Amino acid sequence: MKATIMENCALSLASLWVSVLLSSMCHFSLGSEIRFVTCGSVVKLLNVKHNVRLHSHDVRYGSGSGQQSVTGVTTVEDSNSYWSVRGTSGAVCHRGTPVKCGQNIRLTHVNTGRNLHSHYFASPLSSNQEVSAFGEEGEGDNLDEWTVLCGGSMWQRDESVRFRHTATDALLSVTGEQYGRPIHGQREVHAMTSTSQHSYWKAMEGIFMKPSETGPRDFSSLPHTEF
């Protein structure tokens, strides 16, 4: 009898989880029908010039800040290249809201929970401005904020954009330098104050949150799912 009750409870909980997940999936898009990048989306970002995706992993720099390294990789399938588009600590960006050109955002590395970050440390290979991943569970400091630079009013999915580090005015860039072991072949990602073709990025694979027709909606309590 006890086993039967426990089994029924487990089935009820499973049914509830599936119902919640299905109700939320109507606000996701894996396809191309959404024309712009929205807050809460989880995306891969491609450096257009060098054809590498913005990437991070639990490997720390051996110099500079010693924080978690950020690189560029040619691999398309690597799950360590997913970043969550979020508002800043001082400006909430509700899920499904289109990101405006000129808006400040945070990019949080999904697998480690650290934010794309920069500061005046020198990068290991080119001695440009180091870019790292910083913070815990999505919370770091004001050096995690980046301004989206694009041509219209909203960040369009099919356009190349730039990310300017809000505190230092340097642009997220790749110029082609390659690491040796233990991350052999990965490209250095850094920030530069000069504008060039090395600083353009495009949203690629990911899960894009649809704008809600009934206003902002809180998805923070949804079950975690792998993608």
The domain that holds 114 is classified in CATH as 2.80.10.50
**Does the residue 141 lie in any domain?**
yes
**Does the residue 212 lie in any domain?**
no
What Cα–Cα distance (Å) separates residue 77 from each residue in 52, 53, 164, 227?
12, 10, 27, 11
Q: Say how many domains are in the chain.
A: 1
CA-only gyration radius of the chain, Å? 19
Taking only the tens place, the pLDDT of each residue in 137-160 is 989 999 999 999 999 999 999 999
CA distance 31 to 36: 12
**Does the residue 175 lie in any domain?**
yes
Domain that holds residue 57: 38-207
Query: With the C-alpha atoms ordered 52, 55, 61, 64, is the resulting torsion angle positive or negative?
Result: positive
CA distance 142 to 149: 18
Q: What is the DSSP letter of 91?
A: B
**Does the residue 219 lie in any domain?**
no
**Does the residue 30 lie in any domain?**
no
Number of helices (H), then strands (E), belonging to the chain: the values are 1, 13
**Does the residue 218 lie in any domain?**
no
**Does the residue 123 lie in any domain?**
yes
What Cα–Cα distance (Å) separates residue 86 from each residue in 72, 169, 209?
21, 20, 12
User: Which residues of the chain are under the pLDDT cut of 50?
Assistant: 1-27, 31, 213-227
Task: Indicate the pTM of the whole model.
Answer: 0.80
CA distance 201 to 81: 13
Taking only the tens place, the pLDDT of each residue in 54-90 is 999 999 999 999 999 999 999 999 999 999 999 998 8
Residue 221 corresponds to which tokens in the numbers above? 């309590």
**Does the residue 213 lie in any domain?**
no
